[in-house]
Amino acid sequence: MPSKPNAASRLVFLAFLLVISAAAANDDAAARRTMEQFAGFPASDDGEGPSSDFHVDSEGLQRQIDELASFSDSPAPSVTRVLYTDKDVQARRYIKGIMNQLGLVVREDAVGNIFGRWEGSEPGLGAVATGSHVDAIPFSGKFDGVVGVLGALEAISLLKRSAFLPKRSLEVIMFTSEEPTRFGISCLGSRLMAGIEELAQSLRKVVDNQNVSFLDAAESAGYKLNLEDLHSVFLKTDKYSAFIELHIEQGPILEKEGIPIGIVTAIAAPASLKVDFEGNGGHAGAVLMPARNDAGLAAAELALAVEKHVLESGSIDTVGTVDDEAAATTSDEGVGSINEMGLDID
Ligand SMILES: *[C@@H]1O[C@H](CO)[C@@H](O)[C@H](O)[C@H]1NC(C)=O
Ligand SMILES: [Zn+2]
């Protein structure tokens, strides 16, 4: 643990401050302990901690969150903001506007990942970055992703207000298309930054459900790019020394237990399996159970086996969908001759 806060730990610390003010500070002491442990310096006026005028403008932040939520294709309180639509473009403009107001150097790459940079006193060092996304699946909430972008901008604003001068450059990143809504590709912008060649290849031919190609959709949002430009999104090594994302909890666990913040210690690597079961048809009244070979029952057994494994191991696999093409009938075909099941394995 460093005895003196560096840029990274301050930024982390601010992320916590923001989470805490957003969570209405229902458990100040616990939150303070958590952030002190993580940041490595005390959250008090004495010593190395931030001074008492080190205040997050939570009202201003809330106002920005509400303003951003108004760029939506569905009525409030829901938010629908799909990649490269007009609302997405408006949200992008809004984010860039705040970055400009803060005096950050704003850059966009070929697919519209947006970077707001505050040059450090040693700009050659890898930057410390933070950020998230502002695209929103249909009828989502206004905090998803947005907290990690607007919260990061407020963190930068606060550091500027407190006359902090970073050694490493600090960057806020708004990633293009974290959600798979339009092209079925999630984390599109960040994965392209990671230099995934297969992704660059598939972006050449992918279309949305209206048969609009990725390149045409990008162009309609102001990102006119050639196929070669996709490679320019790939990051060079050592550009960043650290990255942190602040994100709302997407489930009920922390909220239910009254825990103000969770720190990610592992990242799920999701994979989906589709399992087809094939049984034999047979009259429900005449082919009796000992002689039956029902696909539906085999699928049910697998689903129960997955449940048992998950409960015993604490992993987060689920059985997502079950399609029974020959659902229970009393016809000659009998019960479930074909059955398809989707498994999400993490
Ligand atoms: C989709 O667009 C392409 C290129 O414009 C065209 O060749 C193709 O026929 C279209 N497909 C459908 C299903 O409309
Ligand atoms: Zn999100």
Predicted confidence (pLDDT) per residue in 300-332, tens digit = 998 898 888 888 887 776 766 666 544 333 333
How many A from CA of 180 to the centre of ligand 1?
21
pLDDT confidence of residue 54: 77
How many A from CA of 69 to the centre of ligand 2?
14
Sequence-separated (6 or more) residues with CB below 8 Å from residue 141: 77, 78, 79, 248
Q: Which range among 106-115, 179-188, 268-277 shows the weakest confidence by mean pLDDT?
A: 268-277
Q: Residue 6, Cβ neighbours under 10 Å: how many?
A: 15
Inter-helix orientation angle 146-161/86-101, to 10°: 10
pLDDT at 239 over 50: yes
Q: Which amino acid is at 126?
A: G
C-alpha to C-alpha distance for 176 and 34, rounded to whole angstroms: 31
Relative to the alpha carbon of 206, which ligand is closest? 1
Relative to the alpha carbon of 147, which ligand is closest? 2
Q: If you write DSSP's letter for every residue of 147-205 in order, what string do you get?
A: HHHHHHHHHHHHHHHTT---SS-EEEEE-S--S-TTTS-TTHHHHHHTT-HHHHHHHTT
Structural class in CATH, domain 7-257: alpha beta
Inter-helix orientation angle 7-22/28-39, to 10°: 160
Ion ligand 2 — residues with CB < 5 Å: 144-145
The stretch 46-73 carries a mean pLDDT of 83
DSSP 321: E
Phi-psi region of 107 (alpha: psi -120 to 50; beta: other; left: phi over 0): beta
How many A from CA of 249 to the centre of ligand 2?
9
C-alpha to C-alpha distance for 291 and 280, rounded to whole angstroms: 10
* CATH topology (fold) of 271-345: Alpha-Beta Plaits (3.30.70)
Summarize pLDDT for 178-217 with one digit per residue, the tens.
999 999 999 999 999 999 999 999 999 999 999 999 999 9
pLDDT confidence of residue 292: 87
How many A from CA of 46 to the centre of ligand 2?
36
Q: Residue 51, Cβ neighbours under 10 Å: how many?
A: 10
How many A from CA of 30 to the centre of ligand 1?
57
How many A from CA of 126 to the centre of ligand 1?
44
| Residue 243: burial class (beta carbons within 10 Å; 0-12, 13-18, 19+) | middle
pLDDT confidence of residue 219: 97
pLDDT at 105 over 50: yes
How many A from CA of 136 to the centre of ligand 1?
27
Between the alpha carbon of residue 161 and those of residues 12, 54, 96, 118, the distances in Å are 17, 8, 19, 13
pLDDT confidence of residue 78: 96
Q: Parse the chain into domains and list their residue ranges.
A: 7-257, 271-345
pLDDT at 225 over 70: yes
Q: Which range among 20-24, 57-61, 86-90, 120-124 shows the weakest confidence by mean pLDDT?
A: 20-24
